Structure 1
Amino acid sequence: MGMVVKLILAGFWLVLVPAAAGIPFTGKKQTGFSETFLNGYLVLFTVMEILTLSMTVMKMPLHVLTAAWGGIGIVLAVFGLFAFGKRKASFLSAWKEKKRPSFYFCIAILLILLQIAVCSLMAHMDADDCFYVATATTDVYTDTIFEVDPYTGTAYRALPRRYVLSPFPVFLAVVSQLSGRLHPAVMAHMVFPVVFLSMAYMVQAVLAKKWFPGEKKAQGIYLLLAACICSFSGYSVYNAGNFQMVRIWQGKAVLASVLLPYLLCLCISFFLEKKQEISWVPLVLANISCCLLSSMGVILAPLLTGCFFIISLIVRRDWKRVLVGFLCCLPSIALGIVYILMG
């Protein structure tokens, strides 16, 4: 199968399916494409986490996981298209009401496109790829899920405690399989940067709307400033900007650049607004999605959410939101307990 066809399939699974799957999860409040797309990934990441953990325990082959996740993704996308049909008028009216983007916003988009081109075409080869990309490649060519050690090629004596609860390399393997067996290294280094860098700036655009509601110029300046800071974040290998620019295909980088900032935005909308802007569903999906990306997400997601429901309790005196927020953290807490017991 030609490379062009494989890249088209990758675009279908990584762009079109999430965009459609996120439509039913936008809630009653009309949201833009960025929120819809990000919510779609929350749904698909959550499905991947649940399926991978269960199939790893049952020692199912990778092709079964691929078929299951792909089938559920198609069903969610079709359901989203039906939801779009019912709400088509409201979506179109919202798009018509959008004002012309500011000059600063256009400059920010140009800088972001330049970053995407650099990260995709001049990919940095990170030492951690020896495990992350190698795990995906090993799973693809052995048709297994965390059964073969990518370092030695021999069977694991015990499941890798640090990674098995956060199986983002398996997501890479599954998407590579669905994209006409595109090599996981190509998927990671050339395709993932396009998708996940775009998502990182979608989150910043959503935050800009939160910080500066109705001020297009200020939102554009904010997005431009975020892009500039990221471009010059090479002064350290430990900050989120550096992770975003040089290793965005790794789960911990997606966690730092995309999911945790978006979880911050969801927490603000859920806990701190006088009138609750979103339902609890995206919040619980975000907590589970953080667990898929990295073992640090198992800890940081409920910690971030917990900080906000404590602030909400102090500011709003709303016990109902606090209780719901705690329930949203339960999957992460459960995985944290499993992580400790595995030690």
Structure 2
Amino acid sequence: MTVVKILGLIVWLVVVPFCMGLVFLPLFKERFKSVGTVFVAGYILFFTALELVGIPIVLFTVYNGLTIFTRWFTPLILVLSLAGAGIALWEKKRGYGLSFAGFDRFKESSPEEKIVMLLFLGLVGFQVYMSFTRASFDGDDAYYGVQAVIAQQVDTLYRVNPYTGRSAPLDVRHALALFPVWEAYLGKMCGIHATIIAHSVVPLVLIPLTYVLYFQIGKALFGGKRKQLPMFMMLIALWQLFGNISIYTTETFFLTRTWQGKSFAGNFVIPAVLWIFLCLFASGEKEDTIVPKGMKNQGKWLGRAVHTNIGEKGLWILLACLNLAGGASSSLAILLSCMMTAGFGFLFSVRERKFGILTKAGFSCVLGGIYVLLYLLLTHGIFVP
């Protein structure tokens, strides 16, 4: 039975999000078609689907909320996963499959780079091990953790006061942030208690996922100077490990409150906005690219890999999804991500002298803007579901 539960976790936390990320393959240039990019994009799309399906159910369903959510959400993500797998096969036939250039680069790197990267992986393994075996607790668990437990055991979403266990009106302040609902859903699908999902399982996934995102940020920052990338990742891991100088730092949240939406907002959503704009800012610039061995049409692949066009449509669509997906972690995360999108979009349009870039930035904030407007209507009592 334990083996079945572990396999279920692998399916819903690794296989399904990765396959969902494959949906973006035709929208990305070859320089972005890497395993890490697909995994990050898959989780962004995963939480976007969570918000699109979950918000109406939370607002208009009083009883059997998690059951109804499961009936709608599960087919949607499975369809997206199958679509992603089909797209990957189609791309492979065209000779534009996933890039494993990073693995080839590691094999050809110097001994010093390999040692630093192995030390980094050791630090990540240590952080994951400590998060799993030394799970910490804080006052917010009395709300966020209990909301997931209530959703799983009582089958209602934000309709029970977690402090008293009594029925209550919809908690409009938190009702649009569905991170506890995601944890309850995982528990329901895998037959595991929601508390175990939150404190023991979620860190095993979100900690490596965050480092995958930082790896993509490093690739965008250093461009062709990839020799600095191992040291960059090493410094990031050390920064996270010794960042507990206050209970309010993102590093503290990252390792001691990984299962809470606020941690995901600070450690994934905001850095993901930076990563997307770093990729957009680097459009048109050359990078040191290694063509994977056995890749078909290598000349065509290389020619498309070292150049990108301004306004990469795949990245803009991913940014639009992120500006809604962030709401799963915190309502404030969407406001921050949309403000960052507006600010970076303005700088990008000024640098390139193209007003169309600012327009794309505006369109990428539409879903997030609707979310913020709905939140204001709920919290001010103008809209009462």
Aligned to 2:13: 14
Range that drifts further, 6-15 or 96-105: 96-105
Aligned to 1:186: 196
Aligned to 1:249: 259
Gapped runs of 5+ residues in structure 1? none
Gapped runs of 5+ residues in structure 2? 108-112, 285-308, 381-385
Q: For the residues of structure 2 that align with 1:286 and 1:208, how far apart are their CA atoms?
A: 20
Per the alignment, in what secondary structure is the counterpart of residue 22 of structure 1? helix
CA contact (8 A) 1:23 1:80 kept: yes
* 2:209 counterpart of 1:227: no
Per the alignment, in what secondary structure is the counterpart of residue 149 of structure 1? coil
* 2:53 counterpart of 1:77: no
Aligned to 1:100: 106
Q: For the residues of structure 1 that align with 2:360 and 2:67, how far apart are their CA atoms?
A: 36
CA contact (8 A) 1:252 1:296 kept: no
Paired amino acid for 2:65: P
Structure 2 matches for 1:160-309, cutoff 5 A? Answer: 160-179=171-190, 181-270=191-280, 273-274=283-284, 275-276=309-310, 277-279=312-314, 280-309=316-345
Q: Deviations over 1:185-226 (max 9, x none)?
A: 111111100100011101110011011123333000000000
* 2:355 counterpart of 1:319: yes
Structure 2 matches for 1:95-174, cutoff 5 A? Answer: 95=101, 98-100=104-106, 102-103=113-114, 104-157=116-169, 159-174=170-185
Q: For the residues of structure 2 that align with 1:53 and 1:150, how far apart are their CA atoms?
A: 19
Q: TM-score, normalised by structure 1?
A: 0.94
Give how far 1:54 is off: 0.8
Paired amino acid for 1:323: T
Give how far 1:176 is off: 1.1
* 2:76 counterpart of 1:40: no
Q: For the residues of structure 1 that align with 2:349 and 2:59, how far apart are their CA atoms?
A: 39
Q: TM-score, normalised by structure 2?
A: 0.84
Please report the RMSD computed on the Cα atoms of aligned residues, expressed in angstroms.
1.8
Q: For the residues of structure 1 that align with 2:336 and 2:265, how far apart are their CA atoms?
A: 10
Aligned to 2:288: none
Range that drifts further, 160-169 or 202-211: 160-169
CA contact (8 A) 1:105 1:217 kept: no
Q: Which has the larger radius of gyration?
A: 2
Give how far 1:72 is off: 1.2
Give how far 1:278 is off: 4.8
Structure 1 residues 271 and 162: alpha-carbon distance in aligned structure 2, compared to 1, 3 A threshold: farther
Paired amino acid for 2:58: T
Give how far 1:97 is off: 7.5
CA contact (8 A) 2:220 2:282 kept: no
Structure 1 residues 200 and 217: alpha-carbon distance in aligned structure 2, compared to 1, 3 A threshold: same
CA contact (8 A) 2:210 2:267 kept: yes
Q: For the residues of structure 2 that align with 1:110 and 1:191, how far apart are their CA atoms?
A: 19
CA contact (8 A) 2:35 2:98 kept: no
